[in-house]
């Protein structure tokens, strides 16, 4: 009863928030998304000149690796949406033509990391430089967000066949509300080819998300090459449904160039049956293969090898160690593991804690901070490393949906 009222209230609050959020800035055909921190606009129109250019005068960022230039060329692609601009420009008053976007990035540093400044300011046209739009950001990644917003102000006019920016002058002042805006992909249950992952990353960039949470391996398959333990990817669905180590590095670099960090995950000790295809001693036994064998030193050597390899390519400060849905029965059902538990005076739940904490220490030794799924916190929260972020899902997942559906149906 109480729960029901709470959920109905929550739904009402969410609806009210959604209405408030769009109020005032829901302009005719244009919707900037996600809604910027602040927006104002006028009623005039400007047009993109045929050779709309990037201008970086006065910027401190040298763009040696072309992150900004590539972002600008993607911006043009987005704005054109593959249309041919064949309008008659001599009909447009030249004072209404935008020659380019003047971008000033204040910081020379292009390190992408958790908590960097992603804010930007966009004016169309620039004040004091009417032939240009002006974008200012602290980091190049803030500037990339500004490109997304700029692209959403542009539309291809099918009558005039030129790119129009209606409702100028625009002033957008924006910064994310949340420093972690993630999307999870699971390449263990479903292998995703590299171009598909890249499409996902592109669409994340459109929505200004900044963390790709890559749940790489699970019970079903182990698709990633681990140089330290080259038989692990024997657990892939097939020889072609795999990622080389260089593929993973490519994903990280592709994402980084779009302002997106990659959070790699290995989920231990449950959700890991596929590990034992290549190294069967990681299983308690063939008939009772999960969770990973807590009694075997080799288990932790492999985790160390994986995280050591990870640290060469996954430069995000967090690594995800899973830790959810651990059914420890196989540990007491398997004689050699049970013997080990007895010898170390541990019951199953203590061994679960022991495993998670030992894996945490390995991650810390490779310079990572840790994300663990909620169950670890629910079972031994006060024992977790202080460098742990607890990833809530039990109460935000199926249960909430069930409650919400329940409150509508009741």
Contact residues for 61 (Cβ-Cβ < 8 A; gap 6+): 68, 105, 107, 108, 110, 139, 140
C-alpha distances (whole Å) from 86 to each of 98, 260, 315 are: 17, 35, 45
Among 19, 57, 91, 239, binds ligand NAG (CB under 6 A): 91
3-state secondary structure of 296: coil
Q: Could you tell me the smallest distance in angstroms from the CB atom of residue 353 to ligand NAG?
A: 9
Piece in contact with ligand NAG (CB under 6 A), picked from 85-93, 211-219, 249-257, 366-374: 85-93
Other CB atoms within 10 Å distance of the CB of residue 88? 9
Pick 177 or 286: Cβ nearer ligand NAG: 286
Q: Could you tell me the smallest distance in angstroms from the CB atom of residue 161 to ligand NAG?
A: 9
Q: Is 347 in the site for ligand NAG (CB under 6 A)?
A: yes
107, with CB counted inside 10 A (0-12, 13-18, 19+), is middle
> Residue for token digits 């003047």?
102
In the numeric block, which tokens belong to residue 167?
Answer: 């409702």
325 is catalytic: yes
Among 40, 111, 203, 349, binds ligand NAG (CB under 6 A): 349
Q: Is 286 in the site for ligand NAG (CB under 6 A)?
A: no
Compute how many residues bind ligand NAG; rule: CB under 6 A: 16
Q: Give the active site residue among 325, 348, 369, 375.
A: 325
Among 329, 342, 361, 392, binds ligand NAG (CB under 6 A): 329
Helices (H) and strands (E) in the chain, counts: 12, 14
Contacts to ligand NAG from residues 306-325, by CB under 6 A:
none
Instruction: Give per-residue burial for 312-343: e unless 16+ CB within 10 Å, then b.
Output: ebbebebbbbbbeebebebbbebeebbebbee
Contacts to ligand NAG from residues 123-182, by CB under 6 A:
157, 159-160, 164, 166
Binding string, residues 97-116; x marks residues near ligand NAG by CB under 6 A = --------------------
In the numeric block, which tokens belong to residue 384?
Answer: 């977790």
| Contact positions vs ligand NAG (CB under 6 A) | 88, 90-91, 157, 159-160, 164, 166, 288, 327, 329-330, 347-350
Active-site residues, by number, are 325
């Amino acid at each position: 009863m109480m729960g029901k009222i709470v959920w109905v209230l929550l739904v009402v609050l969410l609806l009210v928030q959604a209405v408030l959020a769009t109020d005032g800035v829901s302009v005719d055909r244009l919707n900037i998304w996600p809604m910027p921190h602040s927006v104002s606009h006028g009623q005039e129109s400007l047009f993109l000149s045929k050779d709309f250019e990037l201008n970086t005068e006065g910027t401190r960022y040298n763009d040696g690796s072309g992150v900004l230039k590539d972002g600008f060329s993607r911006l043009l692609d987005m704005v054109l949406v593959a249309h041919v601009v064949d309008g008659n420009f001599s009909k447009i008053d030249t004072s209404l033509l935008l020659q380019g976007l003047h971008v000033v990035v204040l910081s020379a540093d292009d390190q992408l990391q958790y908590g960097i400044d992603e804010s930007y300011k966009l004016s169309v046209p620039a004040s004091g430089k009417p032939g240009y739009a002006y974008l200012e950001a602290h980091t190049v990644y803030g500037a990339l967000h500004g490109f997304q917003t700029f692209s959403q102000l542009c539309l291809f006019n099918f009558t005039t066949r030129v790119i129009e920016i209606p409702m100028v002058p625009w002033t957008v002042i924006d910064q994310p509300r949340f420093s972690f805006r993630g999307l999870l992909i699971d390449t263990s249950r479903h292998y995703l080819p590299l171009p598909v992952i890249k499409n996902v990353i592109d669409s994340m960039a459109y929505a200004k998300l900044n963390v790709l949470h890559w749940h790489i391996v699970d019970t079903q398959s182990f698709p990633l090459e681990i140089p330290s333990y080259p038989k692990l990817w024997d657990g892939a669905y097939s020889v072609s449904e795999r990622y080389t180590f260089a593929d993973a590095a490519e994903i990280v670099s592709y994402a980084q160039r779009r302002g997106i960090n990659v959070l790699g995950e290995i989920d231990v000790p449950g959700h890991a049956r596929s590990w034992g295809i290549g190294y069967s001693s990681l299983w308690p036994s063939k008939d009772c293969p999960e969770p990973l064998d807590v009694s075997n030193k080799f288990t932790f050597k492999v985790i160390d090898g994986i995280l050591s390899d990870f640290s060469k390519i996954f430069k995000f400060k967090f690594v995800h160690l899973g830790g959810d849905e651990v059914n420890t029965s196989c540990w007491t059902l398997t004689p050699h593991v049970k013997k080990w538990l007895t010898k170390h005076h541990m019951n199953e739940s203590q061994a679960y804690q022991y495993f998670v904490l030992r894996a945490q220490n390995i991650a810390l030794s490779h310079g990572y901070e840790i994300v663990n799924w909620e169950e670890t916190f629910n079972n031994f929260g006060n024992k977790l490393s202080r460098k742990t972020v607890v990833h809530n899902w039990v109460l935000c997942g199926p249960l909430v949906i069930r409650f919400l559906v329940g409150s509508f149906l009741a």
